[in-house]
A and B are shown apart, each in its own frame.
Chain A
Amino acid sequence: MRRRNNARVLEALGVRVAKLRGVDLIRESWISIAGNPGRSLVTALGTVLGAAAFVSTLGLSSTLGRQVSAEFDVYRATEVVVRAEDAQVSREWQESEKLGVLRSLNGVQAAGARVSLFERRVQRTAALGGDTASARIVGADPEALKVIQPRLTTGRLPDQFHEETAAKVALLPKTIADKLGVQRTGVAVFVDDQAYSVIGIFDEVERSPEAMISLLVPFRVAEELSFGISADQVDREVLIETAPGAAQYIGRQAPLALHPQSPESLRAIAPPDPMTLRRSVEGNVTKLSLLLSIVALAIGTVSIGNAASASIAARTSEIGLRRAVGARPVHVFAQLLGETTVLGLAGGLAGAFLGATVTVGASLWNGWQPVIDLKQAVLATAVGAAAGLIAGLIPALKAMRIEPVAALQR
């Protein structure tokens, strides 16, 4: 009713309801912002910093996350160890036939059996006295040795022949060899009354660091020694080297291959997936940086709001004039909101660039490969615009209530 009445009155007076076209609104906002760059810069500074913090912290955390996985131990990441859940499981699962099945799996580079026995005194001579050292007696077949990868300082690794003939040969870690005064191969060491011929000395292993305190003998030799011992004092394992990235998969398949009757009696220990690891590292950093960015953007919002509120006082006369030349309160509201939104958007965009620059700069400085997600930059810009929109609400509401009379008084 009122509307129809209005239309009639407007027509009779020969006027049209004041309007502000979208294009004019954007243009006005832009002229206001660009016309006063100092004021605009101060107003948008908070959003610039907020968005920069957002993009750079997220960028740096992804860069660091990538770095973590790049430096992730590639040897450990390709090692799977299979153990029996309890000592009562029959030792059939370590037989070479089963190992053959396991080796035929795609992604298995090497797989061998290992049996670890008690710790024993190792002596240089069979007689009492002389140099002694304590070492665990560990039997490993050639394939298991491939997985362990001892680095020889002298001598050689036992081979298939030693394994099949159960030859009494041994590999010594350098620390134990030094203790016993063994400098070269060919000499014998004694465990109880049994002599073992030293065929190699190693100073490091790529996997299974516990080998560094062990006397390594062929699997079958240790197996024979184990017959007299209660099963729960013997650790039986199958060591597997996988192709990079296959560890998790092989970890799931190995118990099935080794013990098809009851795979659940075996337990495979695979390293954590590097992806999962990276995600968990990134997740922690991301939460922290998100929090920081939210704080920074909140400060940005408050700063836009503050600066816009402060500028209202200086623009009272302009707003009064706009009302005098026909602007409706909603037009004033829309323009001020438009200005803060554009400022927030521009601030967010500038901040995203700044943040990306910081990320790239820090990465170059440290020799990392920078990782910047475009989505984050877009998000930062959008959040900047939203911050501007929210920040503008209160000043815009204030401005639309300005009465032209009060504003135009000299």
Chain B
Amino acid sequence: MSATACLQLKDVERVYDDGHPIHALRPTDLDIFAGDYVTITGASGSGKSTLLNILGLLDRPTAGSYQFGGIDIAAAGEKVRGAVRGQKFGFVFQSYHLVLRRSALENVELGMLYGPHRARRRRDVAAEALERIGLSHRMHADPRQMSGGERQRIAIARAIATRPSVLFCDEPTGNLDSQNTANVLDVLQELHRDGLTVVVVTHDAHVASVGTRRLSVTDGRVREEQR
């Protein structure tokens, strides 16, 4: 494993300030290395989603530096952050965020819409991603006719189609039963085995136990749990 961190937070802080400040994330140092499978647990409102949003460039820290690939992107312009988000990161959310009335394939293609590929190439790559997830047979199905587990796997296919360096998952199994949860965890495990860096936010102890590194967040403070 590379000694230099892939994602590196230094004194990163996130304060929501409308009237009286709320410290969603207190000054935090965190290194995430390529190939890590990091799980983040914490109670609702503990700041675990804030941490994920900052790591995933969906939110900006109010203080501190965030290095990705050796470059500080905490204060970078939206063009740079958007490009990194779209091409280096993948996202999976609790409620899938699939676009209804579009087939599984079209949903996966959507993940690459703003990238460098042309339409024909996007279609091929999307089909490959679905195959990798084991959902080739559902390629033309409407997400409304799918189970939650299938929908989440479509979302994962969309996230990995761009071949990102890091996959961020926010409560990926929050809406799933145990069988579907197991399916999704299998997929994540497999992706991790293939070398993908995975960051999962969850409140499910079982899901958290799968990671190679476990973080817990309490009142905006991040603590690494030793095995």
> Which residues of A approach B to under 8 Å, CB–CB?
2, 6, 9-10, 12-21, 23-24, 27-28, 31, 35-36, 317-318, 320-329, 331, 404-405, 408-410
Kindly state the separation between the CA atoms of A329 and B94 in the bound complex, as whole angstroms. 24
> Which residues of B approach A to under 8 Å, CB–CB?
49, 53, 56, 58-59, 68-71, 73, 76-80, 82-88, 91, 93-95, 97, 99, 101-102, 106, 110-116, 118-119, 158, 162, 170-171, 174
Q: Which residues of B contact A328 (CB under 8 A)?
A: 78-79, 82, 114
Looking at A17, A24, A31, A325, the one whose CB has the most chain B CB atoms below 10 A away is A325
Contact check: which of B49, B83, B93 meets A18 at CB < 8 Å?
B83
Contact check: which of A17, A28, A36, A317 meets B79 at CB < 8 Å?
A17
Minimum C-beta distance from A379 to chain B (A)? 33
Contact B58 A20 (CB under 8 A): no
Contact check: which of A17, A20, A409 meets B83 at CB < 8 Å?
A17
Q: Which residues of A contact B68 (CB under 8 A)?
A: 13
Contact A317 B97 (CB under 8 A): yes
Minimum C-beta distance from B97 to chain A (A)? 5
Contact B114 A318 (CB under 8 A): no
Kindly state the separation between the CA atoms of A27 and B91 in the bound complex, as whole angstroms. 24
Q: Which residues of A contact B83 (CB under 8 A)?
A: 10, 13, 15-18, 326
Minimum C-beta distance from B152 to chain A (A)? 13
Q: A12-B69, A15-B87, A328-B79 are in contact. Are A410 and B174 (CB under 8 A)?
A: yes
The 10 A-B residue pairs whose C-beta atoms are closest, nearest first, are A326-B86, A18-B114, A35-B101, A15-B83, A326-B114, A15-B87, A321-B97, A410-B94, A410-B95, A404-B58
Contact check: which of B88, B99, B113 meets A24 at CB < 8 Å?
B113
Minimum C-beta distance from A156 to chain B (A)? 87
Q: Which residues of A contact B71 (CB under 8 A)?
A: 9, 12-13
Known contacts A20-B114, A410-B171, then 9 further A-B pairs from the complex at CB < 8 Å, ordered by chain A residue: A6-B77, A9-B76, A15-B86, A18-B86, A317-B97, A320-B97, A324-B56, A325-B114, A328-B82
Contact A410 B113 (CB under 8 A): no
Kindly state the separation between the CA atoms of A76 and B162 in the bound complex, as whole angstroms. 81
Q: Can you offer 17 A-B residue contacts whose CB atoms are under 8 A?
A: A6-B77, A12-B69, A15-B83, A15-B84, A16-B116, A17-B79, A18-B82, A27-B119, A31-B106, A318-B99, A322-B110, A324-B91, A325-B110, A325-B112, A326-B82, A326-B115, A408-B93
